[in-house]
Structure 1
Amino acid sequence: MQTRTIGIIITVVGIIMLLYNSFNYVTTEKVVDLGPIQINKEVNHPLEWSPIVGVVLAVVGVVLIVTNEKKNA
């Protein structure tokens, strides 16, 4: 893969991480299982990260793009 392509991908991921700094996913856990009777509960699992991570990724991506442009010039 070219450095420019990797830089663009990292920049886009960084911007997305800035816009969305957390998300949840839900799993179902079985609480009670008594023959035909089942009781389940949904459990939220939040994933959070600092916006600083998004800024760092965006800056690294831009640096990769710029350094690739300087090499090709």
Structure 2
Amino acid sequence: MTIARIVGILLIAAGVAGLVMGSFSYTQDTEAVKLGPLELSVKQEKTVPVPVWASVGAIVVGVGLLLVGGKKG
């Protein structure tokens, strides 16, 4: 299996995941106050939307790599 095929498969999987999930969330720790031995931190959950055009684009490029990457010249 060539590198182009592996990258194509990964792009297709990422594109499908982006279409199915729609967004992903992560938690960010920020240091709010540090006063001597006391330290207060804040955890914020952030959500990042995945654009549909990016997911579809990844699928299209992945399929293209699968089709072209398999040809031997």
Cα separation, 2, equivalents of 1:2 and 1:25: 30
Q: TM-score, with normalisation over the residues of structure 2?
A: 0.70
Q: How many residues align?
A: 71
Shift of 1:23: 1.4
Cα separation, 2, equivalents of 1:68 and 1:19: 26
RMSD value over aligned CA atoms? 2.1
Percentage of matched positions with identical amino acids: 27
Which residue is 1:43 aligned to? 44
Gaps of 5+ in 1: none
**1:20-69 CA distances to partner (integer Å, 9 max, x unpaired)?**
22112112334445556654432122212211101110011001111233
Gaps of 5+ in 2: none
Give the 4+ runs in structure 1 shifted more than 4 A: 32-39
Which residue is 2:7 aligned to? 6
Which residue is 1:53 aligned to? 54
Q: TM-score, with normalisation over the residues of structure 1?
A: 0.70
Which residue is 1:26 aligned to? 27
Whichever residue aligns with residue 59 of structure 2, its letter is A
Which of these two proteins has the greater Rg computed from alpha carbons?
1
